[in-house]
Structure 1
Amino acid sequence: MSNSDILFARNRVFAETFPASDLPIVPKLRTVILTCVDARVDPAHVLGLDLGDAVVIRNNGGRVTEALIQEIATLAFMVKKMDGDKPGPFEVVIMHHTQCGAERFADPEFQMAIKERIGIDVSGSAISNHEQSIRDDVAKLRDAGNVPGYAVVSGAIYDVVTGALTEVVAPSELGQTRPA
């Protein structure tokens, strides 16, 4: 039996007990969670999410990239259009974690090996200090003109050993933190 067979069998059990519901397109918590692809960091488990609660975007290190900024700007625009004239709340939670593989990307030799072997520059995903990386990612969102100022952004570190989440950047509206 392959892993795909196992996953499809699990889905059959899930589908049998799936509650008939009409989940809205806009997540109930009106929140986007950005986190790492690491299998130990599943926001549904870590944050107690149910289907339809939040949009979850995962990449190496849970880092804010240009592609992520475009995704968030597009989602915010879509939600605003669905809200009408008065946009409702829209939040982004950046969640990094301890023992992250992206810490290896901070090694210049490892960066060079990846670039030489597969042609990918991982320097933008490198993490050498989790708290500073979160602050840098919040700043990237703050400085992105296409992400609306009413978006509330926060950042935290998840400890893969204890299961605890530690706030690094308190929730605040981007418009309140942008330079005049």
Structure 2
Amino acid sequence: MSNLDKMLERNKDFAAQQFAAGTLMPSLPRALPNVKAIIIGCADMRVDPAHVLGTKPGEAVVMRNIGGRITPGLLEQLGLLGRIGDVAGEIPGGGGEFHIIVLQHTDCGITRLAGDPAMLMDYFQIQEAELKAKAVTDPRAAVAGDAASLRAIPALPGEWLVSGLVYDVATGLVEIVVPPAPIRTA
């Protein structure tokens, strides 16, 4: 049995035991008010935000990339999500508390690219002089820098909260590096 066959078997179990039509993905205008967070995390298979943070279907939009980093590509995706909400006439969180959570982790594969500045410059779309500020070898500094970069985006609603977390792959625990705070204070 191939890996895909195993996953398809698990999907049959999921569909039979957990899925209720319409509950996991209601129509878009009804879906967005139930979302409580956007979680930006790493693509590393050890760090699935649904398992690490215990999110349930419909509670969070999860966006994953190498390192769980704020990159131009991720910002473009955030813009597209905002436009989807505009078209649907809905605001994520439905006017309630809403978080953007940056979730990075220890022992991240991006640290192995520290010796390849050209690749990192391309990924972040920056010049070499700006690479040190990306702190690719230090997840705590990286998550703090990425949370700060989100706060600098004027298009994000000021009342949204931004948090920065680091997951320790050795212990399974999450550390709050950037406590939840509004993107901008009044």
- TM-score scaled to structure 1, two decimals? 0.81
The aligned counterpart of 2:95 is 87
Match of 2:150 among 127, 137, 141: 141
Structure 1: give runs of 5+ residues left out of the alignment.
none
2:158 is aligned with what amino acid? G
The aligned counterpart of 1:63 is 69
Match of 1:101 among 99, 109, 114: 109
The 1:60–1:79 alpha-carbon spacing in structure 2 relative to 1, beyond 3 Å, is same
The aligned counterpart of 1:34 is 40
Deviation at 1:12, TM superposition (A): 0.7
Please say if 1:46 is aligned against 2:48: no
1:134 is aligned with what amino acid? V
The aligned counterpart of 1:154 is 163
The aligned counterpart of 1:129 is 138
Moved more, 138-147 or 8-17: 138-147
Q: Number of aligned residue pairs: give it.
A: 169
RMSD between superposed Cα atoms in Å: 2.6
Looking at structure 1, the residues matched to 97 and 81 of structure 2 have their Cα atoms a distance apart, in angstroms, of 12
Alpha-carbon displacement from aligned partner over 1:17-53 (angstroms, at most 9, x marks no partner): 1342533422645101111000100111111122212
| Contact 1:69 1:144 (C-alpha < 8 Å) held by counterparts | no
SS in 1 for 2:81: helix
Structure 2: give runs of 5+ residues left out of the alignment.
125-130
| Contact 1:69 1:141 (C-alpha < 8 Å) held by counterparts | no
Moved more, 57-66 or 142-151: 142-151
- TM-score scaled to structure 2, two decimals? 0.79
Deviation at 1:76, TM superposition (A): 4.4
